Amino acid sequence: EVQLVESGGGLVKPGGSLRLSCAASGFTFSSYSMNWVRQAPGKGLEWVSSISSSSSYIYYADSVKGRFTISRDNAKNSLYLQMNSLRAEDTAVYYCARDTGFAFNPWGQGTLVTVSS
């Protein structure tokens, strides 16, 4: 079964840092691009960042560029999101999602990041 499991969320103060992880199983992780998508409380979906299978291509939304860093470790079947200089508006559930080339499928269950003093 294809599965994605996020971890690392929590409460952090404005200006702080957090590192999210996404553990993949049930498929050849090194063959797929991966993404982070977030959803603020009561709001819609916002794409955050993408990384290609070999990490050659990396993209960020303007809202996080310069503050967030996506990375992956294909040997560990893991995806990461290093989040620095966090702001209140970064509060959201963060999902990792596999890129099939046509859509994001599947998605993990999400991990909640709360930025508050």
Partner 1 sequence: DIQMTQSPSTLSASVGDRVTITCRASQSISSWLAWYQQKPGKAPKLLIYKASSLESGVPSRFSGSGSGTEFTLTISSLQPDDFATYYCQQYNSYRWTFGQGTKVEIK
For residue 96, what are the β-bridge partners? 36
Binders of partner 1 among 83-102, rule CB under 8 A? 95, 100, 102
**Residue with smaller CB distance to partner 1, 29 or 60:** 60
Distance CA 60, CA 69 (A): 8
Q: Give the DSSP per-residue string, 84-102.
A: -S--GGG-EEEEEEEE-SS
Distance CA 85, CA 82 (A): 10
47 binds partner 1 (CB under 8 A): yes
59 binds partner 1 (CB under 8 A): yes
50 binds partner 1 (CB under 8 A): yes
Binders of partner 1 among 7-36, rule CB under 8 A? 35
* CB-CB contact of 98 with 106 (8 Å): yes
The stretch among 7-15, 18-26, 38-46, 79-87 that binds partner 1 (CB under 8 A) is: 38-46
Strands 92-99 and 33-39: antiparallel
**Residue with smaller CB distance to partner 1, 2 or 13:** 2
Of 8, 16, 27, 46, the one binding partner 1 (CB under 8 A) is: 46
